[in-house]
Amino acid sequence: MTRTFYAGVAALALFAGTAAAQDLKFKPGEDARFNWASYDAFAAANDLSGQTVKIFGPWRGEDQALVETVLAYFAAATGVQVDYSSSENYEQQIVIDTQAGSPPDIAILPQPGLIADLASKGLLTPLGDETAAWIRDNYAAGDSWVKLGTYKGKDGAEAFYAFPYKIDVKSLVWYVPDNFDDAGYEVPETMEDLKALTEQIVADGGTPWCIGLGSGGATGWPATDWVEDLMLRNASPETYDKWISHEIPFNDPAVIEAINDFGWFAKNDKFVAGGAGAVASTDFRDSPKGLFSSPPQCYLHHQASFIPSFFPDGTQLGVDADFFYFPAYAGKDLGKPVLGAGTLAMITHDTPAARAFIAFLETPIAHEVWMAQSGFLTPFKGANPEAYGNDALKKQGEILLNSTTFRFDGSDLMPGAVGAGTFWTGMVDFVGGKSAEEVAGTIDASWPK
């Protein structure tokens, strides 16, 4: 499941199309990390002075300030006035606005299920085969991203509607380098190595993992990320797609295998801090704290890129804590899959300025400006990885660039009653002692008919 936290109140920002270079975050031509030639070429091809583009997105608070730095370059290059807005209930607001016939020109959303619904009602404009081809050629694991942005329209025909932009990575394992150094452990390169390390830590008298599924009314969701990651490491991407769309049942043998693989880590008292019985009751925000105790209560923690927000104050990434890619099995020949989430941009009102904005997202500068600050990852191979604002972002960006498959968080793509309901509770029941077959059968029976 995607855990997204947006701060602040509904916001509105205006950018004059005549923005001067000195108003931009990074002055064009002066920072060698950025591809200014692409920016100049885009500006030369897109004089849209006097036009306005209305963009509606999920970013508020600090994230809004960051996206505004990117939008300023689009405004300065094109002469377009950019009107960006958001809402605390942006998922509901975009439905209201599109159905009322007053949509923004561009909508940016992190929910593929909602995008699919908008496309099926004829409320989105296809971006075209050329844009899909550009994504396929220029994004690492490009076919995965084209698939993510492709939906059925009102006529039932599939088309490419949504441009992936700003990605989050979930396939991460966190650890404390000093703890590894003291114990003589090395970062594992394969899942076989990770399991061997887990057993070695126990043999050395330690506890390998901290795992917590507690999250109030959403308790259980961290386990869904484990299972989704392990599905991609035990079965093909096509099997994963069939699972989340219910083309295969939830109790298919491939799903049972992934759940049991999670159980290998989570249901062994020796493998988990506090024992297997503590997994469901430990809050996910508290679970990584065991990495930092002395002596360490655990050595490893699986969680998405946001988890450092819950590390002790003053923790310096790359020094006090670090991460590695949640590895694939060497013996299963499934490449390097990455599980994650992210946002997608789409045209909800077709105008020349809206088309130009989608074209702007194809320029390195549209990625590099945000990369150089915080909280932004991209699979765009043309963006300079040296633009990342810190080593942690650069390392996560490399994981995306090295991926052979990307798949969106599965529980977010399932019907809400399952992905945000029985899947959560089923995983709590599983770590509580029920079998994978039993919980998967219950989840399958809950799938809306």
Residue 110 covered by a domain:
yes
Query: Are 281 and 348 in the same domain?
Result: no
For 199, residues 6+ apart whose C-beta sits below 8 A from its C-beta are: none
Residue 4 covered by a domain:
no
Distance of CA 310 to the CA centre of its chain: 18
Range of the domain at 85: 12-169+339-408
| Whole-number CA gyration radius for the chain | 22
Average pLDDT of the chain, as a whole number: 94
Residue 5 covered by a domain:
no
Position 20 pLDDT exceeds 60: no
Position 358 pLDDT exceeds 90: yes
CA–CA gap between residue 276 and residue 102 (Å, rounded) = 52
Position 8 pLDDT exceeds 70: no
Give 278-294 pLDDT, tens digit per residue: 999 999 999 999 999 99
Query: Where does the pLDDT of residue 440 fall: very low under 50, low under 70, confident under 90, or very high at 90 and above?
Result: very high
Terminal CA-CA length for the chain: 22
Total count of domains within the chain: 2
CA–CA gap between residue 44 and residue 289 (Å, rounded) = 52
- 8 A C-beta contact, residue 83 and residue 57: no
Q: φ, ψ for residue 12 (rounded to 5)?
A: -140, 130
Neighbouring-strand partners of residue 84: 13, 55
CA–CA gap between residue 332 and residue 312 (Å, rounded) = 37
Instruction: Tell me if residue 352 falls in helix, strand or coil.
Output: helix
- Note every long-range contact of 131-139, with CB atoms under 8 Å and residues 24 or more positions apart, other chains counting: 131/160, 131/163, 131/358, 131/362, 132/160, 134/362, 135/160, 135/163, 135/164, 138/362, 138/380, 138/381, 138/382, 139/164, 139/379, 139/380, 139/381
Query: Where does the pLDDT of residue 16 fall: very low under 50, low under 70, confident under 90, or very high at 90 and above?
Result: very low
Which element (helix H / strand E) includes 163?
A: strand 163-169
- 8 A C-beta contact, residue 123 and residue 369: no
Query: Are 74 and 153 in the same domain?
Result: yes
Query: Are 230 and 360 in the same domain?
Result: no
Other beta carbons within 10 angstroms of residue 89's beta carbon come to: 11
CA–CA gap between residue 36 and residue 311 (Å, rounded) = 37
Q: What's the angle, vertex CA 360, arms to CA 359 and CA 364, rounded to 5? A: 115
Residue 234 covered by a domain:
yes
Give 255-275 pLDDT, tens digit per residue: 999 999 999 999 999 999 999
- 8 A C-beta contact, residue 203 and residue 341: no
DSSP state of 155: T
Position 316 pLDDT exceeds 70: yes
Other beta carbons within 10 angstroms of residue 33's beta carbon come to: 17
Give 101-140 pLDDT, tens digit per residue: 999 999 999 999 999 999 999 999 999 999 999 999 999 9
DSSP annotation string for 426-446: HHHHHHTT--HHHHHHHHHHT
Residue 3 covered by a domain:
no
Query: Are 72 and 186 in the same domain?
Result: no
Query: Are 306 and 187 in the same domain?
Result: yes
Query: Are 401 and 260 in the same domain?
Result: no
Q: For residue 23, what pLDDT is reported?
A: 84
- 8 A C-beta contact, residue 449 and residue 30: no
CA–CA gap between residue 342 and residue 148 (Å, rounded) = 10
Neighbouring-strand partners of residue 261: none
DSSP annotation string for 295-310: S-S-SBEE--TTGGGG
CA–CA gap between residue 230 and residue 327 (Å, rounded) = 10
Q: Where are the beta strands (DSSP E) in 333-392?
A: 337-347
**Token output for 323:** 């991460």
Query: Are 79 and 146 in the same domain?
Result: yes
Query: Are 331 and 345 in the same domain?
Result: no
- 8 A C-beta contact, residue 59 and residue 110: no
Position 245 pLDDT exceeds 50: yes
Q: What's the angle, vertex CA 198, arms to CA 397 and CA 303, rounded to 5? A: 35
Query: Are 107 and 195 in the same domain?
Result: no
Query: Are 191 and 275 in the same domain?
Result: yes
Give 46-100 pLDDT, tens digit per residue: 999 999 999 999 999 999 999 999 999 999 999 999 999 999 999 999 999 999 9
Q: What CATH number has the domain bearing residue 346?
A: 3.40.190.10
- 8 A C-beta contact, residue 53 and residue 83: yes
Q: Which CA distances in Å does 387 have to 227, 328, 368, 371, 373?
A: 33, 28, 6, 6, 9
Q: For residue 158, what pLDDT is reported?
A: 98
Query: Are 240 and 382 in the same domain?
Result: no
Query: Are 250 and 368 in the same domain?
Result: no
- 8 A C-beta contact, residue 171 and residue 408: no
